[in-house]
Amino acid sequence: MTLLDEIQEQPDAAARFLDRRLGDVHTIAATILRRDPSFVLIAARGTSDHAAIYAQYAFGLRNGIAVALAAPSMFSLYAAPPRLAEAVVLAISQSGTSPDIIAVVEEARRQGAPTVAITNDPDSPLAAAADHVLPLEAGPELATAATKTYTTQLLAIAALSAALSGGREASADAAALHAVPRAIAAALATSEQARELAAARSSMTRAVVVGRGYEYATAREWSLKLQELTYVMAHAWSSADFEHGPLALLEPGFPVLAAIPNDEAGTPLVPLLRRLRDDHGADVVAISARSDIADLQPMPAGAALPSWLAPIASIVPGQLFAYHLARAKGIDTERPRSISKVTRTR
């Protein structure tokens, strides 16, 4: 199976998760609600770290739960972990084998904090270390670059957020979640558009990627896909942070890639991108479900989804753009240099 095959398999992977794991989601949500935590601590690395950023917005905006991102070296290298008595600890890892993420979960259990592992391998060491396991059901992912495990991680977090909300919104949330596989399939239809935009930028060596709100996670993940697949020096910022200094990077022709949310966080981002294009000569390409950005070379995604679910579909054009850019550069998408599928850090 190739990377492109795995990108195209994402609607089926999402449907499998929804079909098989919503019962587990509700069990875990009940545990969290009984705990009534002061905060959720999330341990993750790489692509999974971007799923954690999505969780900051999903749990924070929808459930009123503060989310902190763990510094795993405090647990593994420094052996000086913070107090977790008031927390629920969530670990997100595709393989479930990184020692530093496992160390966070082991210490949390030692302190009596409930622990949850979201992983594609329910038999992994991370799964064994946690109180609860939420398998992703993505199926084997053989390509070095993670794609379907990322979107199913987002879906698992979204499902948890919906289960934690409950109440009058439960029916609407359930319907929205079950629309996700169709929305991903619709996003896959942008492949030719992504190929054309990427081919026109085959000489790209650097770029900035901006997003905000729920789509900040998309900007971070799109940036990583460009780094590992195309060797482009891509850096992601919140669009608000970008105006506080990094704006000085821009010069005519500088690529600015944007993930624009279809909510109030996107409202100031659209005029910012137009200023970057008109005043600084930036080469702007956007991913968004908005209908008012035809002039920003958009790749549409997530039109059928509410903003809290949109990142699950909106990253797909970013994956396709990175894949086609790598092909345009003559890079082997199946074997990116210097990296391996599973990385174990301490």
In which band, very low, low, confident or very high, does the pLDDT at 60 lie, cut at 50, 70 and 90?
A: very high
Q: What is the pLDDT of residue 165?
A: 93
The domain tally of the chain equals 2
In which band, very low, low, confident or very high, does the pLDDT at 341 lie, cut at 50, 70 and 90?
A: very low
Q: What is the pLDDT of residue 84?
A: 97
174 and 194 inside one domain? no
pLDDT at 346 over 70: no
164 and 27 inside one domain? yes
pLDDT at 336 over 90: no
Can you tell me the distance from the alpha carbon of 109 to that of 194, in angstroms, rounded to the nearest whole number?
A: 45
pLDDT at 340 over 80: no
> Per-residue DSSP letters for 299-335?
EE--TTS-TTTHHHHHHHHHHHHHHHHHHHTT--TTS
Residue 220: give its domain's CATH number: 3.40.50.10490
288 and 224 inside one domain? yes
In which band, very low, low, confident or very high, does the pLDDT at 104 lie, cut at 50, 70 and 90?
A: very high
| Residue at 338 is within a domain | no
* Sole residue written with tokens 């650097």: 206
66, β-bridge pairs: 39
pLDDT in tens, 203-260: 999 999 999 999 999 999 999 999 999 999 999 999 999 989 899 999 999 999 999 9
192 and 149 inside one domain? no
**Which whole number is the average pLDDT over 167-178?**
87
165, β-bridge pairs: none
For the chain, helix, strand, coil in percent to 5 are 50, 15, 35
**Which whole number is the average pLDDT over 85-110?**
96
Q: Which of 169-178, 294-303, 311-320 has the lowest mean pLDDT?
A: 294-303
> Per-residue DSSP letters for 211-269?
E-GGGHHHHHHHHHHHHHHH--EEEEEEHHHHTTTGGGG--TT-EEEEEE-SSTTTTTH
| Residue at 295 is within a domain | yes
* Sole residue written with tokens 């990253």: 315
Q: Which of 176-185, 232-241, 332-341 has the lowest mean pLDDT?
A: 332-341
Question: SS3 of 120, please?
Answer: coil
In which band, very low, low, confident or very high, does the pLDDT at 67 lie, cut at 50, 70 and 90?
A: very high
Q: What is the pLDDT of residue 304?
A: 81
174 and 203 inside one domain? no
173 and 303 inside one domain? no
| Residue at 344 is within a domain | no
**Which whole number is the average pLDDT over 297-313?**
90
pLDDT at 154 over 90: yes
**Which whole number is the average pLDDT over 66-95?**
96
**Which whole number is the average pLDDT over 264-289?**
95
158 and 289 inside one domain? no
224 and 145 inside one domain? no
pLDDT in tens, 36-51: 999 999 999 999 999 9
**Which whole number is the average pLDDT over 289-315?**
90
Hey, what are 233's tokens? 């020096």
68 and 191 inside one domain? no
Q: What is the pLDDT of residue 334?
A: 82
Which sign does the torsion angle of CA 199, 311, 238, 50 carry? negative
In which band, very low, low, confident or very high, does the pLDDT at 169 lie, cut at 50, 70 and 90?
A: confident
252 and 153 inside one domain? no
pLDDT at 338 over 90: no
Percentage of the chain surpassing pLDDT 90? Answer: 88
| Residue at 339 is within a domain | no
Domain limits for position 28? 3-178
What average pLDDT does the structure give for the chain? 94
**How far are the Cα atoms of 65, 157, 237 from residue 153, in angstroms, in the given order?**
19, 6, 21
